Chain A
Amino acid sequence: MSGHPQFEEDFELYALGVLDGSEKAALEEHLPACADCRRKIEEARTRMSLLALSAPPVAPPDGARERLIQRFRADMARQSDRRQIRSNVVQFRPRIWAPVWAAAAVLLLAAAAWLAVENHKLAAQLAQLETTHRQLEESEQQLREQGARAEAALDILTAPDTVKVELTPVAARPVPHGKAFYNPSQGLLFYAANLQTLRPDQTYELWLIPSEGAPVDAGLFKADLRGNGEVILPPLPHGLTAKAFAVTVEPAGGVPSPTGPKVLIGPVS
């Protein structure tokens, strides 16, 4: 069904987030095609926001205002630092550097041939340089996207309320190792090292173990040839308080709740 809602009150119930499953689904199916209903929902949202005024008035705790101002001051200072970093990054233009890298790659190629074909170290450096060269030639759009992700990562790494969690192995060997940087309002970064390479039908799955309730899937990842893996900014419910993080081995494609062996676990201290 995708017609207009039967009752005007459906807009308010939807705006309150209290419409039950099938009614909610029917309205959501209809909304994208109906500007009139979208406008009505916005109006209902404003009307319903007024119900907040019926809460008994309570003054915020002493010091709440000062704490807010302090946080603002710290954020502004960080933003100014980031602008500085960004302005440095902007100067590192691929167009300017690409010919330099290209020339260096050619030189290295000649040098590698001249020295020894089997010089594995140099070949590895060359491969790395070529990779760098290719990366530099990527579009500016990609750079901007990476910049936005880097900025989001920087936000998490520099926020005063970000917790850093060390994950240690469940078994003594091999010695895998993980680090989670988690901020309930900004997201999660996770890096792991020394993990075993899994079979193609397996995957590592990261879990956020909330202070209440079942573990939440925080993303799938593979270990590369050196055993490194990462999960960057997985979609998570906003504001979840974490008790711990864990990594399990699961069937490829992942599972909704952990079934396989725990490889890493780390409580939030």
Chain B
Amino acid sequence: MELTTRPDQDARDSDATLVARILNGDEAALGVLYDRYGALVFSVSQRILRDTGAAEEVLQDVFHQLWRVAATFDLARGSLSSWLMVMARNRSIDRLRRRVLPVAENLTETLPPARLNLESDVAQNEMIRRVRSALDSLPEPQRKAMELAYFEGLTQSEIADRTGDPLGTVKTRLRTALGTLRRAFSES
């Protein structure tokens, strides 16, 4: 006979509730957030760094940062999943290119009122499908330029150097791609 339904309840808790519990030293809450977002954070770090050890260091670092700055989070305003993904990418690019990307690590500064909610597997899978489908819809040169910008952190001139294309062409490709993505992401 089940004496408690706590694990099921944990998995249904909102990000805001779990962060509040983490601030009280509740390691079970950290475990739930890790189960919810750990694979996302690790996947983006692994894609950028292509090194399992380094990607795990970023994963550990991002979650460590989470409980260090959790007290400053305003989860009524911002999305934790966005913060984690921004952090995962920035820390990874930082390691890859020894360059510091502009980022505010305080959620209230980093994120706008967010409609983005990836707390459930269903929501995550649906958003993953939309993002992939939007990227797949881009012509190959645009998709390549976006990948170099996002996953390698190259500037527009660096992308031009890498691909051998004129800078103007690279700029046009990125801007066109970003316009397409913005429309795709904002469709409901």
A contacts, CB < 8 Å to B? 7-9, 12-14, 16-20, 39, 42-43, 45-61, 64-65, 67-69, 71-73, 75-76, 79, 185, 210, 212-213, 237-240
Q: Which of B56-88 contact A (CB under 8 A)?
A: 56, 59-61, 63-65, 67, 79, 81-83, 85-86, 88
A16 & B150 in contact (Cβ 8 Å cutoff): yes
Q: Given A42-B111, A58-B39, A64-B38, output 8 extra A-B contacts at Cβ < 8 Å.
A: A13-B174, A51-B181, A52-B44, A53-B124, A54-B131, A69-B30, A71-B64, A239-B61
Q: Which residues in B have their C-beta under 8 angstroms from that of A54? A: 128, 131-132, 135
B178 & A9 in contact (Cβ 8 Å cutoff): yes
- Which residue on B lies nearest to A239, using beta carbons? B94
A41 to chain B, nearest CB (A): 9
* Bound complex: CA A232 to CA B179 (Å): 46
Q: Which residues in A have their C-beta under 8 angstroms from that of B185? A: 47, 50
Interface of A is mostly: helix
Chain B count of residues within 8 A CB distance of the other chain: 70
Interface of B is mostly: helix
* Bound complex: CA A120 to CA B155 (Å): 65
Given A13-B174, A76-B25, decide whether A240 and B42 contact each other with a Cβ distance below 8 A.
no
**Interface centre among B39, B46, B114, by most A CB within 10 Å?**
B46
Given A45-B110, A64-B42, decide whether A237 and B98 contact each other with a Cβ distance below 8 A.
yes
Q: Which residues in A have their C-beta under 8 angstroms from that of B162? A: none
- Which one of B25, B42, B83, B110 contacts A59 once the chains associate, using CB atoms below 8 Å? B42
What are 16 inter-chain pairs, A to B, with CB distance below 8 A?
A9-B174, A13-B156, A17-B101, A17-B153, A18-B154, A49-B86, A49-B89, A50-B116, A52-B44, A55-B151, A58-B47, A60-B39, A65-B31, A65-B38, A68-B38, A76-B27
Q: Which residues in A have their C-beta under 8 angstroms from that of B14? A: none
- Which residue on A lies nearest to B177, using beta carbons? A9
B38 to chain A, nearest CB (A): 5
A50 & B38 in contact (Cβ 8 Å cutoff): no
* Bound complex: CA A164 to CA B89 (Å): 29
Q: Which residues in B have their C-beta under 8 angstroms from that of A13? A: 149, 156, 174, 178
B34 to chain A, nearest CB (A): 6
Given A43-B112, A49-B86, A50-B85, decide whether A58 and B27 contact each other with a Cβ distance below 8 A.
no
* Bound complex: CA A210 to CA B95 (Å): 12
Q: Which of B1-47 contact A (CB under 8 A)?
A: 25, 27, 30-31, 34-35, 38-40, 42-44, 46-47
A186 to chain B, nearest CB (A): 9
Given A64-B60, A73-B27, decide whether A46 and B34 contact each other with a Cβ distance below 8 A.
no
B179 & A53 in contact (Cβ 8 Å cutoff): no
Given A7-B175, A19-B156, A49-B89, decide whether A60 and B56 contact each other with a Cβ distance below 8 A.
yes
